[in-house]
Amino acid sequence: MIDSKRRMLLQSSLGVGALGVAVSAGLLAPRAVLASWPEEAFHATDKATALSSLLGSDATEASDAVKIKAPDIAENGAVVPVTVETETAGVKSIAIISAGNNTPLIASFDLGESAVPFVTTRIKMAQTSDVIAVVQTPDGLLSAAKEVKVTIGGCGG
Amino acid sequence: MSSIKIRANVDDGVTTVRCLMSHEMETGLRKDKKTGEPIPAHFIQNVTAKWNDQVVMTALWSGGVSKNPYLSFKFNGGAPGDQVEISWVDNMGETETGTADIS
């Protein structure tokens, strides 16, 4: 995974002169540049395209092994806390998707060898929809969903 | 002083890291209410977390992550006094790094 990203970076940096110069001048840590940003996946307007672009497949299997925690009702769609956790071994990455957003892919976390498959963050939600966690394992993509009701500007209604 | 606030503590061999970054996380879809002009996208794209010199996690983000992002993650290992380093790069090439010792 990391290696393929490195290749992508090498290719793309040929085209981006300024970035290449910055790297060679030591202005940017190579690590920071290494993780190229999957623009296509983040700009995708549907979940399937985003997943295919990010992980090479949109074939997810709903699994109890993946636990997603989010509020039932979010009074402020701009700040919705989401936790994704799993006991599954060999997890390579965790992606968080908000199905009702214009661009559903919110974030993707690539886990290193010592990382525990656990992540918490806060996301923006445009409307009431499912929040979906997709966990990449050696056996394929596992997912779990949780509906969050968004009442922007409302008083808990 | 970095604007990234980091807390890391180890319990039973598992280190939990919590951090808060200071960033607008502008999606590029909003418009200025007074002028009607679109507000340019400005959000963190990459976050790298290191324990000593080992990368434990890298995150790829869109503008869908909330303003002033909060992030928590865990890794196996870590001892009090070890260093955790978190750095981000946004879509305008700005970058910031923060460190904290595990307690």
CB contact under 8 A, B48 and A115: no
- Cβ-based contacts of A78 with chain B (< 8 Å): 66-67
Distance in Å, alpha carbon of A81 to nearest chain B alpha carbon: 9
- DSSP letters of A63-121? -TTEEEE--SEES-TT-EEEEEEE--SS--EEEEEETTSSS-EEEEEEE-TTEEEEEEE
- Cβ-based contacts of A31 with chain B (< 8 Å): 48, 50, 55, 87
Q: What pLDDT, in 10s, does the model give residues A34-51?
A: 458 999 999 999 999 999
Q: Is A60 helix (H, G, I), strand (E, B) or coil?
A: strand
Q: Which of A102, A109, A110 sits opposite B29 (nearest CB)?
A: A102
CB contact under 8 A, B57 and A112: yes
- What number of H helices and E strands is found in chain A? 5, 9
Q: Which of B67, B70, B77 sits opposite A114 (nearest CB)?
A: B77
Please give the pLDDT value at position B2. Answer: 73
Query: Does pLDDT of B1 surpass 80?
Result: no
Q: Which of B50, B62, B72 sits opposite A119 (nearest CB)?
A: B72
- Cβ-based contacts of B77 with chain A (< 8 Å): 114
Q: What pLDDT, in 10s, does the model give residues A99-116?
A: 999 999 999 999 999 999
Does residue A3 come out as left (phi exceeding 0), alpha (psi in the -120 to 50 range) or beta? alpha
Count A/B contacts: CB-CB distance under 8 Å.
113
Q: A54 φ, ψ to 5°?
A: -80, -45
Q: Is B62 on the interface with A (CB under 8 A)?
A: yes
Query: Does pLDDT of A21 surpass 50?
Result: no
Q: Which residue has the higher pLDDT, A83 or A4?
A: A83
Instruction: For residue A141, count other CB atoms closer than 10 A to its CB.
Output: 20
Please give the pLDDT value at position B11. Answer: 96
- The residue whose two tokens read 């709903």 is A62
Q: How many CA atoms lie within 13 A of B51 on its CB side?
A: 26
Distance in Å, alpha carbon of A38 to nearest chain B alpha carbon: 8
CB contact under 8 A, B57 and A116: no
Q: Is B9 on the interface with A (CB under 8 A)?
A: no
> What ipTM did this prediction achieve?
0.95
> Would you kindly state where each structural domain of chain B is located, as residue ranges?
5-29+36-101
Q: Return the CATH architecture of domain A45-150.
A: Sandwich (2.60)
Q: Nearest CA to B86 among B15, B16, B21?
A: B21
Confidence class of residue A75 from pLDDT cuts 50, 70 and 90?
A: confident
Q: Nearest CA to A126 among B66, B46, B44, B35?
A: B66
Q: Counting Cβ atoms within 10 Å, is residue B74 exposed (0-12), middle (13-18) or buried (19+)? A: buried
Please give the pLDDT value at position A8. Answer: 57
Q: Would you identify the CATH topology of the domain B5-29+36-101? A: Immunoglobulin-like (2.60.40)
Please give the pLDDT value at position A25. Answer: 45
Q: Is A17 helix (H, G, I), strand (E, B) or coil?
A: helix
> Would you kindly state where each structural domain of chain A is located, as residue ranges?
1-36, 45-150
- Can you list the alpha helix ranges (DSSP code H) found in chain B? none
Confidence class of residue A32 from pLDDT cuts 50, 70 and 90?
A: very low
Query: Does pLDDT of B51 surpass 60?
Result: yes
Q: Is B92 helix (H, G, I), strand (E, B) or coil?
A: coil
Q: Which residue has the higher pLDDT, A62 or A12?
A: A62
CB contact under 8 A, B87 and A35: no
Query: Does pLDDT of A157 surpass 80?
Result: no
- Cβ-based contacts of B14 with chain A (< 8 Å): 116
